[in-house]
Amino acid sequence: MADGLQTNLGGLVQRERDLDKTAFIDLSGIGPDTDGQPHRYSHRAMDELANAVARGLRARGLERGDAVAIVAENSVAYFAAYMGILRAGLVAVPVNYKQPLKTIEHILTDSETRLILADADRAGVCPDTYPVISLDGSSADDFAGLLDPGPFEIVSPEPEETAMILYTSGSTGMPKGVLLSHEGQLFALSRWEGDRAELARQRLLIAAPQYHMNALFISKMALYMNATAVLMPRFKADDYIRAISEYAVTWVTSVPTMLALAVREKETLAASDLSSVERLSMGSAPLTEALFDEVQSHFPTANVSNFYGTTEHGPSAFGAHPDGLARPKLSLGYAAPGMELRLVGGPDENTGVLEARSPSNLTGYKNLPEKMAEVVVDGWYHTKDVMTRDENGFYFITGREDDMFVCNGENVFPGDVERLLEMHPDIDQASVVPLEDPVRGHAPIAFVVPVAGHEIDEAAIQHYARENGPAFQFPRSVITLDEMPLAGTNKIDRGMLMQMAAEGNLTAKA
């Protein structure tokens, strides 16, 4: 019989390593024995908590394959619940609670959720037709009462058995449930095995939401590699910076938008000791050279890198060059061992949409077999991310296939325009969206956040775009914002910007 500790994604704790080492420094203030204060949990404590959750869930009559949703901010209680769900042979459904209620209801219905674990502030978005256990309650009906301490024989999954369903925040329609298996996600984690000694000494900072692949994967990697992670309940730029300093973080993980907000906190940055940071990874959204350079200036001793991952495939497609070549700025890296990658639909084999084939690919979309047949053909997952590959085999992302629009018969990739605009000395952040136009098809509209103390001159920005890029892609309107609207994943909410452009009575210039 296979060992569930080795084959179940909920195992992860390396019992032959230092179990008394701190696994998580939880800043949420909720969970067992916290008293509202930050609390440290050892790897041993995480192992025991996960077992206690698994025992408690099975005692409630849940059967193998049943779905359990988690609707909460980041906390150790959240992550222990996630691990326990998997250990019990159940299916974890992390839910983005920032979505509309009808979207949350769709996720719960589509996933066939049997039980919801929620923190107190999120319980209100859970339909009363589902049983809900409070993660931060202390009564017998809450998380504390669910816990049943003791040993647990971790379920050994069948091949391709679903471990979790992550719902994508698609730009149209309801989100799709991505089925991810135990073996696929363990394969993704194993890609980092060669760096175990290096990773084990790291202290990571996690502030992206754990309902998103980025933070969830980093949380699992910290446990799997016997490392330590500082876990913030949510991202807040000044608290994020202070946490780096207070807890001597060595590896900062983030979405680019989070760092774009953090580097605007000049006073907090100046008052904080950031010298402990050795690594800084930004992923899950496009990264511009301007932001890369500004982040590097505040973390001069850190190795700043661009990180890549998708919900359907995970974050392990790229790694170091086999010949030890340094990774170029903005590069995602070289194809990792065990990963088959190719670029399709471009003028040559070094330009096009990335397709990936590996055990970490999704096994399907919940209740959408036709979508799976469209996205995965002969084992190749079509990512929709447009990339280039240089002469040394390093990959660079240039845009999204489904973000591309046509203006005056020319293809416009918003990322190209955004990278250009963010090189202007007055612009801190830029996001470009299409506005329907009866003559051109679509017109590029730029939303920009100015550098502190600077003013945006629309005509000057448009002149700059014309002088430094193709004429067809210059923004026909430039709209100044104090800050970019963010979606629940801490990425820029392009859907909201498109709505703002459509409702703004904008007149596209020739």
Q: What is the pLDDT of residues 381-405, one digit of tens each?
A: 999 999 999 999 999 998 888 787 8
Specify whether 378 is located in the same domain as 444: no
In degrees, rounded to 5, the angle at the alpha carbon of residue 223 between the alpha carbons of residues 306 and 335 is 35
**In the listed set 347, 368, 401, which residue is the last one of a domain according to the structure?**
401
Collapsed DSSP state (helix, strand, coil) of residue 274: coil
Specify whether 388 is located in the same domain as 434: no
Whether 510 shows a pLDDT value over 60: the answer reads no
Compute the 3-state secondary structure of the chain and give helix, strand, coil in percent, each to the nearest 5. 30, 25, 45
Q: Torsions phi, psi of 314, nearest 5?
A: 90, -175
* Distance between CA atoms of residues 136 and 121, nearest Å: 10
Specify whether 445 is located in the same domain as 422: yes
Q: Torsions phi, psi of 472, nearest 5?
A: -70, -20
52-84 pLDDT tens trace? 999 999 999 999 999 999 999 999 999 999 999
Specify whether 410 is located in the same domain as 499: yes
Give the model's pLDDT for residue 398: 84
Does 425 map to a domain?
Answer: yes
H helix or E strand, kind and range, residue 245: helix 237-246
Segment among 30-39, 176-185, 311-320, 358-367 with least mean pLDDT: 30-39
329-360 pLDDT tens trace? 999 999 999 899 999 998 999 999 999 999 99
Whether 204 shows a pLDDT value over 90: the answer reads yes
Q: Torsions phi, psi of 384, nearest 5?
A: 75, 5
268-277 pLDDT tens trace? 999 999 999 9
Average pLDDT of the residues in 481-503: 85
Collapsed DSSP state (helix, strand, coil) of residue 93: strand
Whether 444 shows a pLDDT value over 50: the answer reads yes
Specify whether 429 is located in the same domain as 384: no
Specify whether 414 is located in the same domain as 389: no
Give the model's pLDDT for residue 173: 73
Specify whether 413 is located in the same domain as 434: yes
Specify whether 396 is located in the same domain as 410: no
Specify whether 364 is located in the same domain as 393: yes
What CATH number does the domain containing 440 carry?
A: 3.30.300.30
Specify whether 350 is located in the same domain as 423: no
- How high does pLDDT run on average in the chain? 90
8-51 pLDDT tens trace? 999 999 888 899 999 999 998 876 566 678 899 999 999 999 99
* Distance between CA atoms of residues 154 and 5, nearest Å: 6
**Cβ(388)–Cβ(205) under 8 Å?**
no
Percent of the chain with pLDDT over 90: 66
- Exposure string for 436-453, b = 16+ CB within 10 A, e = fewer: ebeebebbbbbbbbbbee
Does 279 map to a domain?
Answer: no
Give the model's pLDDT for residue 92: 98
Collapsed DSSP state (helix, strand, coil) of residue 118: strand
Collapsed DSSP state (helix, strand, coil) of residue 137: coil
H helix or E strand, kind and range, residue 494: helix 494-503
Does 255 map to a domain?
Answer: no
**Cβ(398)–Cβ(414) under 8 Å?**
no
Q: Which domain holds residue 391?
A: 334-401
* Distance between CA atoms of residues 315 and 384, nearest Å: 15
* Distance between CA atoms of residues 177 and 168, nearest Å: 7
